Structure 1
């Protein structure tokens, strides 16, 4: 199943199930007000939703008559992973092999940076002149856990989505850390859906493609991650509780704008589209 959150023309926030590419089934009739409630409810909630969905009498919407929102708003910051693809670490360090990390590099983005599919990425020209994109696989945690071994990590995953880790490279360089340059409002386009893990048996066999104005910039595979999804969950949960609804952005492959010579940075009017099948495509325009 694929899950989505949206606004109706009456400005009502709802969540839904996407059975195909053209239809959204209103999920609020299932008794769960938010998609996050379903995730936090675990397997019993998911079973109830499936049984309700099979009755087939819920209201439906077309994609073009609603506004797509981020699928969920997490309880805490979005957890991100830096330099998790060797080629990306090299392109950002003038091909220095020492830039490839021996341990996962973690940072966060605040929930206020989240924005949905089809919305705008603000360019903030008075703040940054080096706006960049990073297409990433996002993992949504499905149940609380701590000290989770990699062998059991998939039991703690609810599903997967797409996140664009938008970055102001000059702010990142100026402040000598990741947080500020990656945390401005709209700097985390997320969605358009969460694909339940049953649709993705192996998250290390996915292709990530990023296009800017139709030009393919990134074409990577999650099999090239330095640290797999399971390893990231093991490392993160060591001594730290992961909660249902936590979002982990797992890093970006090579091909970011700053990695080109000369750089191909974003500007107002550009459209960024990130595709990871079978999740779908996340598209946003810069303004």
Structure 2
């Protein structure tokens, strides 16, 4: 399934994406599961799949406003320096462990929503990434069992305010301006992506490819990341893990290439989705 969270007629719901149509599953399941996080908490994805297969589409994708796939994650983890091409361009050494930082839920925006460039900086950079959504929570999850804890995948743009990211050794300020993290367009369940390592991630800025890599190039694989995270904190249904960006970021180009008002940025992952946003100055 490809699940979306959306707003129609001023009311938020969720459903299954079928081409350019949406099967509104929240219309009938909403009283029990008000959002996708609640669906995951209840282990109700199979119930959603059965209902989606027996229900006609109720909305055109063009007629709804998409929301971030998970609107209310408890935790958002981001992995830094997880492609060798990005490690090289940052001139950093290899690490034995994943570099982890966090994002806040109020930084998230949806597909086709504005991505806001803070007025305080002109160094607003793109970072196309694969996001993983946790379906089954746990602590001390082993690598052997880690994939069983994944509900699905989405595209992510970890918009980074580079000067604020480097005020100190802690990256948190540059990664948490409101409206700088794009997340969507849909949650694609693992059965839709049988050959995960064969998929590619591409970031385009105004139609020009600026990043491209294979998901098989991840230095720390999804099982390694999940094992590491769950060793120090419980993972919960609906938690989001952005798994890192390939080389080609604007900050490391000569001359640097930063996002500005009016730019169109796309993150596309084969088999998973295409996330598009227009950059707007913060108001």
TM-score by length of 1: 0.93
Q: Across the two proteins, how many residue pairs are aligned to each other?
A: 277
* Structure 1 residues 209-220: aligned runs within 5 Å: 209-220=202-213
- Identify the residue that residue 101 of structure 1 maps to in structure 2: 95
Query: Does 1:116 find its partner at 2:116?
Result: no
Following TM superposition, by how much is the alpha carbon of 1:262 offset from its aligned partner in structure 2, in angstroms? Answer: 0.8
Displacement, 1:52? 1.9
Question: Per-residue CA shift, 1:125-145, capped at 9, x if unaligned?
Answer: 2x1110000000000111111
1:279 counterpart = 2:272: yes
- C-alpha distance in 1 between matches for 2:251 and 2:259: 10
Give unmatched runs, 5+ long, in structure 2. Answer: none
Cα deviation code 1:163-218 (max 9, x no counterpart) = 10000001111233211101011111000000011112343332000000000000
Query: Could you say which residue in structure 2 is the equivalent of 1:11?
Result: 10
1:165-176 matches, within 5 Å, as 165-176=158-169
Q: In 2, are the aligned partners of 1:30 and 1:49 still within 8 Å (CA)?
A: no
Cα distance in structure 1, aligned partners of 2:122 and 2:177: 14
Contact preservation (8 Å) 1:92, 1:259: yes
1:37 matched to 2:31? The reply is no
Task: Please provide the CA RMSD for this pair.
Answer: 1.3
1:221 shift after superposition: 1.0
Query: 2:196 is paired with a residue of what secondary structure?
Result: coil
Mapping for residues 84-163 of structure 1, pairs under 5 Å: 84-93=82-91, 96=92, 98=93, 100-125=94-119, 127-163=120-156
Deviation at 1:222, TM superposition (A): 1.3
Query: 2:247 aligns to what SS in structure 1?
Result: coil
- Give the equivalent residue in structure 1 for 2:64: 66
Asked whether the 8 Å contact 2:69–2:185 carries over to 1, the reply is yes
Residue 202 and residue 237 in structure 1: after superposition, are their counterparts in 2 closer, same or farther (change >3 A)? farther
Establish whether residue 28 from structure 1 lines up as the match of residue 29 from structure 2: no
Aligned CA distance change for structure 1 residues 267 and 75 (closer, same or farther; 3 Å): closer
- Whether contact under 8 Å (2:203, 2:212) holds in the other structure is yes
Aligned partners of 1:154, 1:237: CA distance in 2, in Å? 13
Looking at structure 2, the residues matched to 54 and 105 of structure 1 have their Cα atoms a distance apart, in angstroms, of: 41
Q: Is the 8 A contact 1:74 1:247 kept in 2?
A: no
The equivalent residue for 1:249 is: 242
Q: Partners of 2:75 and 2:59 in 1: how far apart?
A: 31
TM-score by length of 2: 0.94
Q: CA deviation at 1:76?
A: 2.1
CA distance in 2, matches of 1:53, 1:169: 43
Q: CA deviation at 1:77?
A: 3.1
Cα deviation, residue 54, structure 1: 2.4
Q: Deviations over 1:227-258 (max 9, x none)?
A: 00111001111142111111000000011111
1:93-139 CA-partner distances (Å, limit 9, x unpaired): 2xx5x2x22210000010000010001111122x1110000000000
- CA shift at 1:56, angstroms? 2.2
Runs of 4+ in 1 over 6 A off after TM superposition: none
Q: Distance in 2 between matches of 1:171 and 1:273?
A: 23
Distance 1:174 1:62 in 2: 45
